[in-house]
A = this chain, B = another copy of it.
Amino acid sequence: MQLMTEGSAAGGGLRERKKRATRAALTEAAVRLAAEHGAERVTVEAISAAAGVSVRTFFNYFDTRDDVFVLTGAETGANVRKALLAAPARLSPMEALREALTAELAEAEQRHELWRLHGEVLRAAPHLLVRVLAAHLADETELAEAVAERIGPGRGAAPPGTSHEERRKALDLYPRVLAAVAVTAVRVSVDHWCARQEERSFREVFQEVFALLAAGLPAPPPA
């Protein structure tokens, strides 16, 4: 059995490898061109040409021009979900979320240069940043389902002293809120990390924001 040293993960047939290569070529071309000329001045035609495919093919891979700048595949969601379910049972849902997300983000940070360029592009194009964040938002429901699956049925959280009725309603809300907090942590981290130009590692910022959020948001000290 030979090592598969292909693209991002182990590759199936030639077809799938080619598809991954094309997609990677498109995203990379897009990010490089955008970093050089500004995201808004890069046309689909230019991206396609740089990647060596036709414009029509571009739209076979991405629904929208902007989608090429999102950079997170559909696999990301699945990865996080798996990591979440595989995390040690002793971890609280929140901790498990933190670990799962940290792992995924670390992997994303692997492709260092592209990630850096991508940061530059987003910093110069708020429109796209918003789009990326919104894409993450879309994952939230999936994440909430994974959380619900992890904590299992019959569980749920509600502040002490909640009535039975309110408790029942909060049940469905809990995974949602957890997922929302996690996504918010990612969002604020990215935002803050982009604002302070890499003054700190992304991982650091993320851990801090997550801690702040999960700690229960204490009121600021009196003075």
* Chain A residues within CB distance 8 Å of chain B: 92-94, 126, 130-131, 133-135, 137-138, 151, 154-159, 166, 169-170, 172-174, 176-178, 180-181, 184, 187-188, 191-192, 200, 208-209, 211-221, 223
Contacts and interface: CB of A to CB of B under 8 A. Distances in A.
Quick one: copies of this chain in the complex?
Answer: 2
What secondary structure prevails in chain A residues at the interface with B? helix
Contacts of A191: 176
A180 B170 contact: no
Contact of A134 (B134, B157, B172): B134
Nearest to A188: B180
B138 A212 contact: no
A223 B154 CA distance: 8
Nearest to A191: B176
A217 B147 CA distance: 14
A220 B166 CA distance: 15
B184 A219 contact: no
A133 B138 CA distance: 10
Contacts of A169: 200, 208
B176 A188 contact: yes
A18 B56 CA distance: 43
